[in-house]
Amino acid sequence: MKKIISLFILLVITINAQDYTKESKEAKDLRMQWWSDARFGLFIHWGLYAIPAGEWNGSTNHAEWIRTTAQIPLKEYYKFVEQFNPVKFDAEEWVKMAKDAGMKYIVITSKHHDGFSLFDSKHTDFDVMSTPFKRDILKELSDACRKYGLKICWYHSIMDWHHPDYLPRREWETDRSAEGADFTRFFQYLKNQLKELLTNYGEIGVLWFDGEWEDTWNSHYGIELYNYVRSLQPNIIINNRVGVGRSGMEGLTKAGEFGGDFGTPEQQIPSTGLPGVDWEACITMNNYWGYNKFDKDFKSTKELLQMLVDITSKGGNFLLNVGPTAEGLFPQESILRLKEIGEWMNLYDESIYGTEASPFNYLEWGRSTKKTLGNNTRLYLHVFNWPKDAKLVVPGVLNKPVKSYVLSDKQKVLLHTTRNEDAIVINVPLTPPNENVSVIVLDVEGKDEIINPPAIINPINIFIDKLDVIVNTDHNDVEVRYTTDGTTPTMNSDIYKDRIELRNTSTITVRSFRNGKPVSNVARESFTKVIPEKPVKVENPEAGVNYFYYEGIWENLPDFNSLEPVKKGTSSNFDITLRNQNDYFGFQYSGYVLIPRDDVYTFYTDSDDGSKLYIGDKLIVDNDGLHGMQEKKGIVALSKGFHRLKVLYFERSVGNDLKVLIEGGGIKKQIIPDSMLFHDR
């Protein structure tokens, strides 16, 4: 009877459990408001990995991944627990540095991939309370954040290299059998720790998941975990890495997959804005997330500030990382940059907090953010490149200017403005008010009406015989005029209809007009007529490609020709399942691709980690380096027939995949079919 009652209660709970993934847009926007207004946060990667400080057996290119990148057995890694004693850690000092830098929230690693917890957990002994330090770091930080008005947030890894039930094991972990491991038990452990994190530390702003890309994690787990976390704290914000389908380092979830509350571009800024999408770019100050004492390649304060402005202008948040030392101190380089960023924010934070994305698609001198002020609009003009003639040209603004001044000028002395066709011209000081980024305020009447230049949207800029160029504009009440010789269009120039046909090398310039007057800046792009690469003569080719398989640890593609292959053979395609192991390997494929007709072709590699593609001796696609699944492309004009093809690929650790695609010649974008691949007999 008790069992029946328990099952009934469980059924009732399941039926009544709220599905937070069905939240309305209005409710989500309200929940996200503080985060959207904040724009700027501090990321902290800290744990046992700070003790070796990036070095292991003479190698100095490690950090938070050191247990995997240096292949440290768990028994050896446990020794760091006895050494972790950051006696110089001062939670209030960390929080004050973030606050003084203008940051509004802190995200810290409650648990990274190594499985070590920075908090007092009742579900594991692999935590800070087992170290000589014996202090709950997250408790001290959460208390300090509330004292100084910042939101405290947790980064929590799904992947766990310590827990006996987490799968898969690292391939090199021969000392840890996976026999008897049960991932469902690990999932319960994950929920148990999250309950501690969400019930013992007050209100938490963000739950920032990571390590979701291994195939043991799936969408079902992600949705269940998302709902579980929000059942404990309904107002919390959760990133997209709770689910699956993230597009590698680009950080945005693919269509059809559950993407949490916001996207997470890593170590990069989207090239254009992402209307209707909440996103946050996480970026390191130097090269590593965790502390590496050898890594002195810090970005300059100017570079970091321009990143902050660039991200904000595109409607995103900036999560800037610091990796503290084993003593509990921020590196001096990080302290200096936070201080200098704070000095800038003291003058210009109005142009960052609570702003909307720029209405301009492109400004050659910098970036813009905006706010609505009653019936009018305020444009914050962030100037990276100060005009040498002291005239700041703001293109495509149809509104009447109200006033303009330097934001850092306490007296708000008005700057003189004039109109030149579509543009408002502001007479600015001869020298920039700030050496990093200066900000000019421009208030205009009414809701901003900005007409961006028409977009020339052709994906390729070379052609063989002829090319139809397509132009688009986001305004219906304008006419687009163009020239093909690079000159600025006038009212006497041709009117764009549905395409511009080119038969010779040309520079197309387009501009929008209304009522006989130009109302936008110009857009310009060159298109080159080329002679396609000639095919090579191949006698009696056989289907497939040759491959050479190598093993080694690399950060970039090595010179495979100088290495001894582990094995070699032929394959029907670019098949990395021919490997002997899942990490630390590489392939060199060579053969021919049979091109069906003369045309311009686009080749792609989508790989984790690095890859390159050559046609003949020409590098067409460069997708090298350590990264998650990432797609790069290149274009080449080819004649009908066989062309020599070479693809290089390497994988360091964790995920591994390689896709090689083609588009053109009547072929829609697809993986290169086996029927197009050949090698010498």
Backbone φ/ψ region at 378: left (φ over 0), alpha (ψ -120 to 50), beta: beta
Give the β-pairing of 667-671 and 317-322: unpaired
> Do 144 and 27 belong together in one domain?
yes
> Using CA atoms, how far apart are residues 250 and 660, in angstroms rounded to an integer?
19
pLDDT in tens, 609-652: 999 999 999 999 999 998 878 899 999 999 999 999 999 999 98
Q: Which of 358, 362, 392 is nearest to 456 (CA)?
A: 362
Say if CB 435 and CB 477 are below 8 A apart. no
> Do 125 and 145 belong together in one domain?
yes
Final residue in a domain of this structure, among 381, 411, 444 = 444
> Do 413 and 461 belong together in one domain?
no
Q: SS3 letters for 175-205?
A: CCCCCCCCHHHHHHHHHHHHHHHHHCCCCCC
DSSP H helices in 263-327:
301-313
Quote the pTM value: 0.90
In a domain, 337, yes or no: no
Q: Average pLDDT of 295-315?
A: 98
Long-range contacts of 419-422 (CB under 8 A, 24+ apart): 420/393, 421/517, 421/518, 422/395, 422/396, 422/397, 422/398, 422/451, 422/517, 422/518, 422/519, 422/520, 422/521
The structure tokens 């950080």 sit at: 251
Say if CB 98 and CB 345 are below 8 A apart. no
Query: What CATH number should be reported for the domain holding residue 208?
Result: 3.20.20.80
Helix (H, G, I), strand (E, B) or coil at 419: strand
> Using CA atoms, how far apart are residues 237 and 20, in angstroms rounded to an integer?
11
What pLDDT, on the 0 to 100 scale, is given for residue 192?
Answer: 98
Question: Is the predicted pLDDT of residue 6 greater than 70, yes or no?
Answer: no
Question: Is the predicted pLDDT of residue 9 greater than 70, yes or no?
Answer: no
In a domain, 636, yes or no: yes
Contacts of 404 (CB under 8 A, 6+ apart): 414, 415, 417, 426, 440, 441, 442, 443
In a domain, 350, yes or no: no
> Do 459 and 438 belong together in one domain?
no
Final residue in a domain of this structure, among 425, 444, 463 = 444
> Do 188 and 112 belong together in one domain?
yes
**Cβ of 539: how many Cβ atoms within 10 Å?**
6
Residues of the domain holding 412: 366-444
pLDDT in tens, 478-518: 999 999 999 999 999 999 999 999 999 999 999 999 999 99
> Do 417 and 493 belong together in one domain?
no
Query: What CATH number should be reported for the domain holding residue 550?
Result: 2.60.120.1560
Question: Is the predicted pLDDT of residue 8 greater than 60, yes or no?
Answer: no
Question: Is the predicted pLDDT of residue 677 greater than 50, yes or no?
Answer: yes
Give the β-pairing of 151-157 and 206-210: parallel
Question: Is the predicted pLDDT of residue 115 greater than 70, yes or no?
Answer: yes
Residue 140 is given by DSSP the state: H
Strand segments, DSSP code E, in 138-257 are 151-157, 206-210, 237-238
Question: Which residues is 586 bridged to in the sheet?
Answer: 550, 650
Say if CB 112 and CB 46 are below 8 A apart. no
In a domain, 353, yes or no: no
Mean pLDDT in the chain? 95
- Rg, Å, the chain Cα set: 28
pLDDT in tens, 429-445: 999 999 999 999 999 99
Q: Which of 367, 350, 365, 366 is nearest to 407 (CA)?
A: 350
Give the β-pairing of 206-210 and 237-238: parallel
What pLDDT, on the 0 to 100 scale, is given for residue 2?
Answer: 42
> Do 440 and 460 belong together in one domain?
no
Burial of 528 (0-12, 13-18, 19+ CB in 10 A): middle
Q: Which of 529, 525, 574 is nearest to 548 (CA)?
A: 574
Query: What CATH number should be reported for the domain holding residue 411?
Result: 2.60.40.1180
Contacts of 548 (CB under 8 A, 6+ apart): 560, 565, 567, 568, 587, 588
What pLDDT, on the 0 to 100 scale, is given for residue 629?
Answer: 85
Four-residue CA torsion sign, 558, 560, 563, 566: positive
Question: Which residues is 603 bridged to in the sheet?
Answer: 634, 662
In a domain, 389, yes or no: yes
Given pLDDT bands bounded at 50, 70 and 90, which one contains residue 175? Answer: confident
Q: Average pLDDT of 305-316?
A: 98
Domains: count for the chain: 4
What pLDDT, on the 0 to 100 scale, is given for residue 323?
Answer: 98
In a domain, 386, yes or no: yes
Question: Is the predicted pLDDT of residue 10 greater than 80, yes or no?
Answer: no
Alpha carbon of 675 to those of 124, 383, 436, 587, 637: distances in Å? 54, 53, 55, 21, 20
> Using CA atoms, how far apart are residues 385 and 213, in angstroms rounded to an integer?
40
Q: Helix, strand, coil proportions of the chain in percent (round to 5)?
A: 20, 30, 45
Query: What CATH number should be reported for the domain holding residue 481?
Result: 2.60.40
Question: Is the predicted pLDDT of residue 13 greater than 80, yes or no?
Answer: no
Given pLDDT bands bounded at 50, 70 and 90, which one contains residue 16? Answer: low
Amino acid in position 240: N
> Do 129 and 248 belong together in one domain?
yes
> Do 570 and 643 belong together in one domain?
yes
Contacts of 151 (CB under 8 A, 6+ apart): 34, 38, 104, 105, 106, 145, 205, 206
> Using CA atoms, how far apart are residues 605 and 202, in angstroms rounded to an integer?
46
Given pLDDT bands bounded at 50, 70 and 90, which one contains residue 544? Answer: very high
> Do 394 and 465 belong together in one domain?
no
At 48, phi and psi to the nearest 5?
-60, -30
Q: What is the crossing angle of helices 332-348 and 301-313, to 10°?
A: 50
Q: Which of 321, 343, 349, 346 is nearest to 334 (CA)?
A: 321
In a domain, 345, yes or no: no
Kindly compute the dihedral angle of the four CA atoms of residues 627, 457, 370, 419, in this order, to the nearest 10 degrees: 140
Final residue in a domain of this structure, among 507, 529, 551 = 529
Omega into 617 within 30° of 0, i.e. cis?
A: no
pLDDT in tens, 201-232: 999 999 999 999 998 999 999 999 999 999 99
Question: Is the predicted pLDDT of residue 126 greater than 50, yes or no?
Answer: yes
In a domain, 375, yes or no: yes
Backbone φ/ψ region at 486: left (φ over 0), alpha (ψ -120 to 50), beta: left
Q: Average pLDDT of 84-93?
A: 98
> Do 23 and 151 belong together in one domain?
yes
> Do 48 and 23 belong together in one domain?
yes
